[in-house]
Every structure is written in structure tokens, then in C-alpha cells.
A and B are shown apart, each in its own frame.
Chain A
């Protein structure tokens, strides 16, 4: 059943608009040179940070379709009756969401890196840092979606919740992309792991609390 849940999550994302966060990511990355100016040295210095800000804002886009429709449609109730714990549902949601978010984002990071003029020798580092961060971002998005499900103005609230919580990921992720000696990658991996590890419990508790 968990496998079927993950597959369902991925199917819903692809049938919905999995490309939308990715397109959004590309657009935000493309905006940076317009805002900063075309100076290649300046752009190269801020490129990794620009990519990360684009990734964070892109992570916000799917939040409203991640949890709320299933809550309103009674899917969680049916899964609980079948003896599937809310935590298992949470883990399946995070996995399914990452599958349609992480790889696509990394793919979009290639042209974005080009737009921002990231040097070829630091491109690999930037992509690895982004790859390590995507599971944490996906977990954070589903957690925030579960915590705000059913609330009025959930979309705006989700943004206010997610962006500050993503700050550690942002600091270490952008740091790891910039300086290989900083050890930022390990700290970023630790934050990402913590978010992924905590997510089933947070999502499970949020689903139970949202029941009326």
C-alpha cells in the first residue's frame, strides 16, 4: 500500500503541474541578471545564492496541492481505517513529492547555472549542494503543507512558515556551493537529514490534529 501511495503521489504531481515549480525556478534564476546587471564577476559571486533563493521559492508553489486536497477528500481517513499510520502516509508523501520535485529541479539547475554564469569548475559543487538539499526542501514543503491544511489563507501562511525554516538549509547549501573547504556540505546534509527524519512525525501529528 505504501508503494501504491508513493506512486499515487507521483502520478498526481505529474498529472497536476510538476513542471510549474521548475518553470518558476528557471524564471526566478533568469531574473537575477536583470536585477543585478550583466557583470560576469559579480554574477558568478552571487550565482549559488541566487539558485538557492530560486529553489526555495519554487518549493513553495506546490504546497497547496500536497496535503489539503487529500484531507478534504477523506483520503487520510480511509487510509487510517485500513490501519496505515499517519506517519507512514507522511513518509510516502515526502518520497512521492521528492521524486517529482528533486530530479526536475536539478535538471532545471543546469540552464539556470548557465544563465547565472557559474564557472564550469564550481558547477559540480553547486549541483551536489542543491541535490543534497532537495530532500530536505521536499520534506519541509510537505510538513508545512500538512501544518497549514484546512486553515484559511493557508498559502500565505505556508510561505511565512517555510521560508524561515529553510534558512539553515540555505546558509549551508549556498556555503557548500561557494567554498569547498567550508564543510558546509556536511552541515547541509545534516540539516536535510534532520528535516527528512522529522517529517513523518510532524506530518502524522498534523493530519491527526486536523481531524474534526
Chain B
């Protein structure tokens, strides 16, 4: 089956420092890859490369349509959650439901707590309807219920033939292949 994300011999250098060299990876439909490694080992850079926001020094990156959740909210703070999500996707109800955000649908995004903002970021990805999800530290700020909901959401996405690339220090529930950077 055609992979949704493929790195071939990718080298990444940031600020003159070599983060990784000649890296190959492949994520196909239904697959989830968990990136680990110490701070500064290049996890976020790898995700930004996959998203097309950074350019690799060497190598080739191919990917299908992707959605990204990182530390940026990327939702208009003056709007209510429903309208802010609605800028990016038409159908946002299911994603809000999955992350228990329905009761916050009419609250302006600027009033959200850290955890609520993280849920909103994940809802933006879930509502995008694209096959490849790129998640940078998706557990940051989530409470136990949030983590559980995220795991269920990811499991459903994988079942439907989606793929996930996630960088996280914490353990992620479900079946993940693992890749450790900076070793």
C-alpha cells in the first residue's frame, strides 16, 4: 500500500547543528509512529519537515494531505470555538463531541484554559478530514479524561485507514511503532 508519509535519506540541520542524518521513515494507512528522544533531539523539527514548514538539507519527503497540532492554537481567539473551528472545516460537531468540547462551543477561544486549548487544537486536526495527522506533544496540558479521549480518537482514525506521526515524552496508548531520535 502507498505510504501516507515517506522520508528518504533526510538530513536536518538547525542553526548549524546536525539534528539527524540520512533518516528514512515510512508511515502507511492504519499506522502510528511515536517519536521519542531527549529535548532538542529534533522531534519537532521532524514534524515540521513532514508538514512542509521546514526544508530538509538533503533527502526527499513525500506526503499525503496532513493536519498539524503543535504548540500553536491557530484558532481566532476573538471567535467562539464553533466559529473558530468552522474557519478550517465545515463539519466540526463530531470532533467537538469526541473531545468533550460541545459545552464550550459558544465560548470565545481566548477564555480557554491550557487543557481546553489543547483539546481545541486536537479538534481542529480531527475535523480536518485528512488522512495524516502530525501531533507535536499532543498530551501536554491534557487531563486524564483528555488523554483517554485522544487515545479513542486516534484509534478510530487509524481504524479508518488514517495515519499518525506523534512526538511525545509521555506514553501513548494503543499500538505504536517507535522511533528514537538523538541516540
Decide if A164 is an interface residue (CB 8 Å cutoff). Answer: no
Nearest CB in chain B: distance from A175 CB, A: 41
Decide if B100 is an interface residue (CB 8 Å cutoff). Answer: no
Given the contacts A8-B76, A12-B76, A15-B78, A77 and B51 also touching, CB distance less than 8 Å: yes
In the bound complex, how far is the Cα of B65 from the Cα of A8, in angstroms? 24
Decide if B17 is an interface residue (CB 8 Å cutoff). Answer: no
Return chain A residues, CB-CB under 8 Å to B73: 73-74
Return chain B residues, CB-CB under 8 Å to A72: 72
**Which of A12, A72, A73, A74 lies at the interface centre, i.e. has the most chain B CB atoms within 10 A of its CB?**
A74
In the bound complex, how far is the Cα of B75 from the Cα of A74, in angstroms? 8
The answer to whether A77 touches B87 (Cβ under 8 A) is no
Which B residues, 14 to 63, have Cβ-Cβ distances below 8 Å to chain A?
51-54
The answer to whether A74 touches B87 (Cβ under 8 A) is no
Return chain A residues, CB-CB under 8 Å to B54: 211
- Main DSSP-derived SS at the B contact region: loop
Decide if B70 is an interface residue (CB 8 Å cutoff). Answer: yes
Return chain A residues, CB-CB under 8 Å to B124: 78
Return chain A residues, CB-CB under 8 Å to B70: 74, 77
In the bound complex, how far is the Cα of B86 from the Cα of A8, in angstroms? 12
The answer to whether B68 touches A77 (Cβ under 8 A) is yes
Return chain A residues, CB-CB under 8 Å to B67: 81
Select one of B65, B74, B88 contacting A73, CB under 8 A.
Answer: B74
Nearest CB in chain A: distance from B52 CB, A: 6
Decide if A156 is an interface residue (CB 8 Å cutoff). Answer: no
Closest to A16 in B: B78
The answer to whether A12 touches B78 (Cβ under 8 A) is yes
The answer to whether A74 touches B52 (Cβ under 8 A) is no
The answer to whether B53 touches A211 (Cβ under 8 A) is yes
Nearest CB in chain A: distance from B11 CB, A: 18
In the bound complex, how far is the Cα of B88 from the Cα of A4, in angstroms? 10
**Which of A72, A74, A78 lies at the interface centre, i.e. has the most chain B CB atoms within 10 A of its CB?**
A78
In the bound complex, how far is the Cα of B75 from the Cα of A12, in angstroms? 13
In the bound complex, how far is the Cα of B78 from the Cα of A12, in angstroms? 9
Closest to B54 in A: A211
A-B contact pairs, 27 of them (CB 8 A): A4-B87, A8-B76, A8-B87, A12-B76, A15-B78, A72-B72, A73-B73, A73-B74, A73-B77, A74-B72, A74-B73, A74-B74, A75-B74, A77-B51, A77-B53, A77-B70, A77-B72, A77-B74, A78-B68, A78-B74, A78-B88, A78-B124, A80-B52, A81-B53, A81-B66, A81-B68, A211-B54
Top 6 A-B pairs, shortest CB-CB distance: A74-B72, A74-B74, A78-B74, A81-B51, A75-B74, A81-B68
- Hey, which bits of chain B sit against chain A, CB under 8 A? 51-54, 65-68, 70-78, 87-88, 124
